[in-house]
Structure 1
């Protein structure tokens, strides 16, 4: 299992050059690794062990197991509130009296590993798109200046190259920034869509799943129903029909144990909390970006706070003399470059950027 999951560690390695924010990486890298890991664990449990074991009076139980796994099993929702041991054999199991409308069918368990896999791909998509748009610009501009122990002549030459590039391409990075912020918005859209689809996947039970689990212990003992057992039942029923010796149709009413649902219920309760946290963080991030774009004063304060020790007047000049795209490029350069080198470069840039274009040379 360690070898199986070891490859996912590549998603969590620290990046040498950062082109995005921490919340963006939580969505694209950590969540992708989490979903892929869950998919691998459930796949291994599903196809290596016994995902279903049915109790049936028959010489070929393997046939019934296979049939119930590939078709579906069911419970009776009204039986979850009955007394176990006296009224029902297990939560949700009772005599249906051939009332098919009383059945609640469970068909999701064959698809959980595939659903998690495609969710992981969807979470990685914004990073894939951004990497294509970014094109290595930040790595090109940093030019090794993220290492402070650089010879003075080499350091000065590289700083001059970066400053000349920024002056020459002033107010030409707006599309660069907009593309990144659109990818951040795509992350939020992705999480919201995934929450909606997971809710549909579990017949409208997922969105309230975590809240119901938290409130379960506070409910009255006689009236409460374990939401984990309700959504991920450990014991279900399955009807298998076959022909008897005389050619008549016989019905085998079997009880089926689903040990895989023990893994599923823990996986999805963790995913519920994580998705809610991530959706909240991404919502705050998008609101923060909108405020940042609309307020130059806020950008000045953010830039000054990020590069503490840089004079406030320098931060104000940078914000006033550049557009939002240039400001974002400089902000990300401050994230990647050595602090002292970046301060020196920004101080020099603020002096030159005040000079009129005709007098720069």
Structure 2
């Protein structure tokens, strides 16, 4: 099966599920980001598109041996040769190291062997991005799917809908102030998503030898520089041409060093993949950071909750929402907030109207007024 066929199979993973129990930003991490990373990993394995991963020019007749050796071991570039013009060097970073002593060469050479691991590293990143969703699925346990079942915007018999509405109202009233664990576990998963993305930025930076965190700004700066002055930062991180030394025994038993000039065609794609990842991770980290600040505001300022719910579903009067929110906890509010995305708006309005009356009745019938006091979170 071709790589295109595999990528086509990822479309189903991007499909929106019938039951929504998380935010759109949270879905961006475990859906779009995972597909982006897996798609890049699949493309990089498609040898039929990009040819051999390495191709070395050498005077030795055993070309396949040299290619395999330089791929398994590491190739290298010389750091200060990136600033020299073509003609003085064969390619940026590649030239004759004869002017350096062994100690100087060891300091100036930049070795490259990450390309052997890029495919596996991208797959590992995709697995890391799915971890918060995996944890949330285990925490959530299908609660929202159970509550919203039979009340989505499709045709149902009136008696079935009425029975389902009664069940939801009875459930909320019976379990009032018992859902704080639900919302805090979800918000914990959003926090884990933020930590995951920021941590991956530093992980990639370590993987690429400390050149990733500033990769995006340097690429933008490069695009605005004069042609005579600029040095492509993508070539520095992902060189297209490198050098490799191969040692063998000569005819008299003396060790001979063969100098190979190696082309790395996959780095043309690697540089595009990682610059895309850099910008996407920065955008996603900003979105996750903003939504965490929003969650903190909802927790600290309870007055924001009715407005947020009303903006989410304007079919319910804000007075009705306030009557419910003032007598319930933040966990109950979150359950009702998420429920509005999973059922028909008219059904939701009826549930909220009846629920406000049920809570008020239960509140007035309680002698101690403790289960429904407005002082809790």
The TM-score with structure 2 as length reference comes to 0.92
Q: What corresponds to 2:69 in structure 1? A: 67
Question: Does the 8 Å contact 1:46/1:260 carry over to 2?
Answer: no
Query: Which residues of structure 1 form unaligned runs of 5+?
Result: none
Question: Does the 8 Å contact 2:248/2:256 carry over to 1?
Answer: yes
Of 286, 290, 293 in structure 2, the residue corresponding to residue 284 of structure 1 is 290
Q: What corresponds to 1:89 in structure 2? A: 90
| SS of residue matched to 2:246 | strand
Instruction: Give 1:232 shift.
Output: 0.6
Cα distance in 2 for residues equivalent to 1:102 and 1:311: 69
Of 191, 199, 215 in structure 2, the residue corresponding to residue 193 of structure 1 is 199
Question: Does the 8 Å contact 2:56/2:262 carry over to 1?
Answer: yes
Please tell me the root mean square deviation across aligned C-alpha atoms, in Å. 1.5
Q: What corresponds to 2:267 in structure 1? A: 261
Cα distance in 2 for residues equivalent to 1:356 and 1:43: 63
Cα distance in 2 for residues equivalent to 1:309 and 1:161: 21
Cα distance in 2 for residues equivalent to 1:48 and 1:312: 59
Q: What corresponds to 1:137 in structure 2? A: 143
**Change over 3 Å in CA distance of 1:325–1:129 after alignment to 2:** same
Instruction: Give 1:149 shift.
Output: 2.6
Question: Does the 8 Å contact 2:19/2:342 carry over to 1?
Answer: yes
Question: Does the 8 Å contact 1:96/1:102 carry over to 2?
Answer: no
Cα distance in 2 for residues equivalent to 1:22 and 1:328: 15
Of 297, 300, 310 in structure 2, the residue corresponding to residue 294 of structure 1 is 300
Q: What corresponds to 2:19 in structure 1? A: 17
Select between 39-48 and 326-335 the one with higher mean Cα deviation: 39-48
> Between Structure 1 and Structure 2, how many residues are aligned?
359
Query: Which residues of structure 2 form unaligned runs of 5+?
Result: 367-377
Q: What corresponds to 2:372 in structure 1? A: none
Q: Is 1:105 aligned to residue 111 of structure 2?
A: yes
| SS of residue matched to 1:321 | coil
1:213-292 matches, cutoff 5 A: 213-292=219-298
1:307-346 matches, cutoff 5 A: 307-346=313-352
Cα distance in 2 for residues equivalent to 1:133 and 1:79: 54
Q: What corresponds to 1:117 in structure 2? A: 123
The TM-score with structure 1 as length reference comes to 0.96
Cα distance in 2 for residues equivalent to 1:21 and 1:100: 50
Q: What corresponds to 1:43 in structure 2? A: 45
Instruction: Give 1:9 shift.
Output: 1.5
**Change over 3 Å in CA distance of 1:61–1:148 after alignment to 2:** closer
